[in-house]
Structure 1
Amino acid sequence: MLASKLFFRFSFLVSLFSVSLLGGESHAQMQIARPPALESRMAAQGDWHVAGEVAPEELELTPDEKRNILVYERGNRAVVHITTRSVQVDAFYLMERPAEGSGSGSVLNKSGLILTNYHVIEDARDIRVTLFNGESYVASLVGQDPVNDIAVLKIDAPPEVLFPVQYGDSSKLRVGQKVYAIGNPFGLERTMTIGIISSLNRVLPSRSGRTMKSIIQIDAALNRGNSGGPLFDSSGRLIGMNTAIASRTGENTGVGFAIPIASVKRIVPQLVANGRVIRPDIGITRVYQTDNGLMVATVTQGGPSDQAGIRGFRLVREQIQRGPFVYEQTRIDRSEADTIIGIDGQRVQTADDLLSVVENKQPGEQVVLTIVREGETISLPVKLGEGD
């Protein structure tokens, strides 16, 4: 039954094609006598156009079409296809099995640096990058930042086949602005889809458990394989990197998300220089979220907060006598723990609120924590250290 349905669909398409060919031949071979009145009108008014024929001047591209073509021609050669090979462990049989993945990326410079998402190359043992001309190169990992889902690769390709993207400015984006996504959905290389900016300043959970901020929401179609590809403005400038969709099926639903170029420009130089993002460390290792703020549980011994006098939970050892036996037990005393309610004048309600301010600083800079200690509100300066 299935075979007959498939044959019917195929034969139907062939039939349409045959009819169109036959129709063209019959029109070329047959000559239809014109009525006398029609002959006289043609002689008076000149040549007539066949019904359905379009005058040459009507075939001009619209301004909107010209803009679409301009963006594609400026950006498509900067888009690369990334394929990966990795090994996954089968949880049932406890055996390793090979796995393949694919995504998109952008050429950053003539030296062969490639921008993509961290989740595209996560745990990959082999990475290959295919350029617009079909040439494929082995890629090495330069640096990665799981928190912001950004990675930088390097390929050894001749400069003449590398066409870097042009950076735009994501700080001036407006809702309703037209955007263009180019990538490799389902392996279909350098496919362009068009949409608008649906919203700005969205937040997304990252694979590290943290949240990514200032995310661009778009309605341009994104599918599997678009991850890591560029998002262009109407001038063909890079304004973001496509990274995720909101979908229960894994396919496009018209709700896509892109990392703004401002975040990319801030993180990529650190990945190139250090292989990772060197983040400042405040020296607080565990907090508990309460209705009043963040209660400090533990601080790094000798770390920035410890040196500043921030208090966490205190371990109290007690001896309890039961009959002839004496037992020692440890209990946690929360009574002296500080509760953080603000940092640098900004109110803090979650751990992400605290870390967002800290990560906008550099190691060695100072922040001011506003805390509640034994019912009293005080401010303590903390000099940030260097994190892992």
Structure 2
Amino acid sequence: MNRRVTPSKSEITADTLVDRLIEQWKAKVEKSKLAANTKRRYTEILELHLAPRIGKLTIGECTTQTLEATLEDISDEVGKPTAKLAKTCLSGMWTLASRYGASAGNIVKLLAAIKVEDKPVVAWSLDEVHSIRAGLHTDKRALANGIADLVDFLLATGCRIGEAMALRWKHFDLDSPKPTVLAEGTVIRVKDGGLIVQPHPKGGPNGKRRLLLPDWAVARLIARRDLLPHQPEDLVFPSALGTLRDPRNARKQMKRALDRIGVTDVPQNPHTARKTVGTTLSEDADGGQSDIGVAAAQLGNTEEVTRRHYVQRTHRGPDARNRFDAFALPEERNPTAQTD
């Protein structure tokens, strides 16, 4: 009967339990420069989905068939996006294992790709925006808890809700000829359950951006500033206790508010406001969507990400009629010159 060998704390071999490999890789993730939310999500994948399934196997017992079956189970039971993240974690773990000689190589690279189907982007129409804004500004609870002002701000900037929750009045310049806001952080929940401001947006330091504000939003923000404590370090959208507001709670409050005003047949999440901004700014003067660069700069994303995730397709081409003139026959190009 073979007896499993328990390696020393620092040793990783083919006989090492995957549980230990998980802990080793998790420690490296914690020391990395990954965003706090990414670290939290990886930890959830490791603890909730991988450790229970393969933690008691040794590294040597984990074949490509074993790992692929594990990912298929996660995909079926939880969903493809979670399985895809699990595969990312496994790849990191097996890179570490191969570095220590516990595996002949990163066998995760041999596994089948996990394809997650992109859902169509859905944005609010102009009529829906007007209905939502007008309705929220007649709802006493939405006015009292700041949801009306929050939705206005999201529609005026395309910011993520976590970025809005992180804003303090020092980030605004509302009294200049060209009023702006600086989006430079986001509220996240860390492992122990508390809320902190991550010092950069979701996309990393390059996602920081200063945005010009439309006049109607400036008027709303000045009115809000006049009603609230507004020292430079005071939060613009605080919780009822004046502390950092949980984006999850704000989402729930927004959904309840939209239910109250009867807006129930459209997406009710704040991210739809971001998609609405992306869709609106991508539209060019001819009704096409060639201004992706404008939308991307506003949202702090690349053009590829913006086109894929934040622009609702209109299926309408640009006005390029003059470029088709080259296909015309001579008599078609100058019909007025024809004679009887």
Higher RCO (C-alpha under 8 Å, 6+ residues apart): 2
In terms of fraction of residues, the more helix-rich structure is: 2
**Where on the TM-score scale, by shorter chain, does this alignment land: which range?**
under 0.3
Instruction: Provide the TM-score with structure 1 as the length reference.
Output: 0.20
Q: Normalising by structure 2, report the TM-score.
A: 0.22
The structure carrying a bigger strand percent of its residues is 1
